[in-house]
Amino acid sequence: MKNILVVALFFTISICFAQAQNMQRFGKKITPEKAQNASSLYTILATKEKSGKVKLKGEVLAVCKKKGCWMKMDMGDKNDKLFIRFKDYGFFVPKDCDGKTAVIEGVAKKETITVAQLRHYAQDAGKSKKEIEAINQPQKKYTFEATGVILMSDK
């Protein structure tokens, strides 16, 4: 009986260690539990005034190639991408995390992004001068100020 308990404890510790090894954390320590799919943001914000504190999970589509100071997440609609910044510019994510699954916690809202901001983000993303100059209208976008991020490894 004692051997069974020792083996069970060993496997439990091994599983927890393996899960921890498959995650990178940034900002405030958060857990992946109770994260909603990023596509649920439409419904979440429809029930709140202008913004809401949430925990979301989704695929990272793009990240700032200069510093890792922002990223975009798939919302399940090819026309909408969730634009994520990090609270108080207090942390960054790896510049090569495109394609990984992320869990983010913070405040989501829909806001108008100015032409100057859009051009700045396009420059950070490595867009051409022609593409940057073509930006001439502000856009309404779903945005997120993350207090914590978990990047899941695909191993």
| Residue 147: predicted pLDDT | 97
Nearest to 80 by CA among 100, 103, 58: 58
- Beta-bridge partner residues of 129: none
Residues 6+ apart with CB under 8 A from 36: 44, 54, 55, 56, 57
Positions in the chain short of pLDDT 70: 1-21, 48-50, 154-155
CA distances (Å), origin 58, targets 25, 33, 101, 129: 15, 13, 5, 30
Q: What is the pLDDT of residue 78?
A: 73
